[in-house]
Amino acid sequence: MKGWARGLFDNVPNALVSLALLWLLAHVGIGLWDWAITRGNFDAPNAEACARTGGACWAFLGDRWRLILFGPYPYAQQWRPATALILFVALIAATATPATWRARARIRTLIAAWVIGVPLMAVLMWGGIAGLSFVPARLWGGLPLTVMLATVGVGLAFMLAVLLALGRVSEMPVIRALCTLYIEFFRGVPLIALLFLVAVLFPYLVPPGWTMDTLLRAGVAFALFFAAYMAEAIRGGLQAVPRGQYLAADSLGMGYWQARTRIILPQALRTVIPSLVNIFIAAFKDTSLVVVISMLDLLGAANASTAEARWWGLYIEPYLFIAAIYLAFCAAMSAYSRGLERRLGVGVR
């Protein structure tokens, strides 16, 4: 059986199934091609004009792609969120390279990069100094908002999660109970409910006069929520570290924190990195929920982009556009996670 035919036509039932599926795919494929290319409008002035051919309205994307990508951020200043986005992605990529975890010096450089980088990006986005005009957080949107919210939320969540995981397995009953309560609470409620909580209840929870940007409130909600999930993943990693490691660390006279930070956690975290990346992917997608608290992330901006009379009624084109973006980011992260899993499985260090 020739290479390409194996798995498709090697026996009669298989061949029948293949033929049926091929017919289905062809049908769908031709319909899609017809809609997208043959009848697609690449330079129509408005949605009505597109409706005349009944095909895809790509002209809409040509006109509105910046609004979708950057949200309501002032048009002329959009280089700032674009730069911040590139910086963020670069930092994340650097953090994700296994080569950086090896040397303590490199880890310190990485932490320094984040400590300098995040305020720098905040300055870029907010402005108000160094000649940059001030742009309030409620005008931030689109892809930079999605990436920043996910990254900062998960970053904070991670630090909290390590403490929670250690507390969850602690021998001290009070600590263990408190951490368990936290984890079970935040895993038991939907993220939307938490976003409502921070949006609606915030004025009641703090003394009068305290304010916090909706964006920061969302970030806090994200951090608190995902910390619970990451804590459970890290706990799994802690339990996978062989007991002999604890014995060896103890026999050298190491104290609790010395043993945890130098011996136990490096091993535990290494094994659960794929799970943590999956949680980050989930957080990245869940940023779309901020639409319920009136923030225009990538999805929100896509929705808003058809809100004017000119392009009213379109939904497939903007959704396809952002679906492609989400797919690109998430698939890349998934592939990374799978690659890591393979690497960590082979030649365990």
Partner 1 sequence: MTPILTMRNVRKSFGPLTVLPDLSLTVARGERVVICGPSGSGKSTAIACVNGLVPHDSGRITVDGIELDHRSGTAPDVRRMVGMVFQSFNLFPHLTALENCTVGPVTVQKRPRREAEAEAMALLERVRIPEQAHKYPAQLSGGQQQRVAIARALAMRPRLLLFDEPTSALDPEMVKEVLDAMIALADTGLTMIVVTHEMGFAREVAHRVLFMDRGEVLQDSPPAEFFAAPAGPRVRDFLTHLRRPNLHHA
Partner 2 sequence: MTSLHLAWKRPVVRAVVWQTLALTLVAALAVWFYLNITGNLARRNLDVNFGFLAGRASFEFGENLVGYRPGDSFLTAFKAGFANTVLVAATAIPITTIVGVFLALMRLSPNRLARGIAFGWIEAVRNTPLLLQLLFWHQLTIRALPGPRGAWELLPDVFLSNRGLYFPAALAQPAFGHAALALLAGAVLALILRARLGRLAWLVLLAPPLLVLAFTLQPVEVTRPALRGFNFSGGVSLSPEFVALVVALVVYQAGFMAETIRSGILGVAKGQTEAAASLGLRRAHTLRFVVFPQALRIVIPPVTSQYLSLTKNSSLAVVIGYPDLVRVSQVTISETGRAVECITILLAVYLSLSLFTALLMNLYNRHVMTRGGAR
Please report, as ranges, the residues that interact with partner 2 according to CB under 8 A. 6-8, 10, 14, 17-18, 21-22, 25, 171-175, 178, 184-185, 187-190, 192-193, 196-197, 200-201, 203-208, 281, 285-289, 291-292, 299, 303, 313, 315-316, 319, 322-323, 326-327, 330-331, 334
Please give the single-letter amino acid code of residue 15: A
Can residue 172 be called a binding residue for partner 1 (CB under 8 A)? no
- Of 197, 220, 254, 340, the residue at the interface with partner 1 (CB under 8 A) is 254
Q: Which two tokens stand for residue 202?
A: 């915030």
In the complex, the smallest distance separating the C-beta of residue 334 from partner 2, rounded to whole angstroms, is 7
Phi, then psi, of 33 in degrees rounded to 5:
-60, -45
3-state secondary structure 192-217: HHHHHHHHHHHHHHCCCCCCCCHHHH
From CA 290, how far away is CA 295, in angstroms rounded?
A: 6
Q: Residues 319, 321, 323, 329: is their CA dihedral positive or negative?
A: negative
- Tell the burial category of 203 from Cβ atoms under 10 Å away from its Cβ (0-12, 13-18, 19+): exposed
8 A C-beta contact, residue 222 and residue 267 = no
Please identify, using beta-carbon distances, which residue of 15 and 116 lies nearer to partner 2: 15
Please identify, using beta-carbon distances, which residue of 325 and 344 lies nearer to partner 1: 344
Can residue 349 be called a binding residue for partner 1 (CB under 8 A)? yes
**What's the length of the chain?**
349
- Of 97, 211, 239, 258, the residue at the interface with partner 1 (CB under 8 A) is 258
Q: 129: Cβ–Cβ under 8 A, 6 or more apart, which residues?
A: 123
In the complex, the smallest distance separating the C-beta of residue 43 from partner 2, rounded to whole angstroms, is 24
8 A C-beta contact, residue 168 and residue 159 = no
> Which of partner 1, partner 2, none does residue 266 bind (CB under 5 to 8 Å by kind)?
partner 1
> Which of partner 1, partner 2, none does residue 131 bind (CB under 5 to 8 Å by kind)?
none
> Which of partner 2, partner 1, none does residue 209 bind (CB under 5 to 8 Å by kind)?
none
Beta bridge partners of 297: 142
> Which of partner 2, partner 1, none does residue 330 bind (CB under 5 to 8 Å by kind)?
partner 2
> Which of partner 1, partner 2, none does residue 319 bind (CB under 5 to 8 Å by kind)?
partner 2
Can residue 347 be called a binding residue for partner 1 (CB under 8 A)? yes
Can residue 252 be called a binding residue for partner 1 (CB under 8 A)? yes
From CA 259, how far away is CA 263, in angstroms rounded?
A: 5
Please identify, using beta-carbon distances, which residue of 60 and 326 lies nearer to partner 2: 326
Beta bridge partners of 57: 41
In the complex, the smallest distance separating the C-beta of residue 321 from partner 1, rounded to whole angstroms, is 43
The interface region with partner 1, picked from 86-94, 165-173, 244-252, 329-337 by CB under 8 A, is 244-252
Q: How far apart are the first and last CA of the chain?
A: 43
Q: 342: Cβ–Cβ under 8 A, 6 or more apart, which residues?
A: none
In the complex, the smallest distance separating the C-beta of residue 131 from partner 2, rounded to whole angstroms, is 37
From CA 199, how far away is CA 211, in angstroms rounded?
A: 11
Can residue 240 be called a binding residue for partner 1 (CB under 8 A)? no
Please give the single-letter amino acid code of residue 118: V
> Which of partner 1, partner 2, none does residue 99 bind (CB under 5 to 8 Å by kind)?
none
Please identify, using beta-carbon distances, which residue of 180 and 267 lies nearer to partner 1: 267
In the complex, the smallest distance separating the C-beta of residue 302 from partner 2, rounded to whole angstroms, is 8
Please give the single-letter amino acid code of residue 211: T
In the complex, the smallest distance separating the C-beta of residue 185 from partner 2, rounded to whole angstroms, is 7
Phi, then psi, of 234 in degrees rounded to 5:
-65, -35
Phi, then psi, of 297 in degrees rounded to 5:
-75, -165
From CA 315, how far away is CA 25, in angstroms rounded?
A: 23
Interacting residues with partner 1 (CB under 8 A)? 242, 244-245, 247-248, 250-255, 258, 262-263, 266-267, 270, 347-349
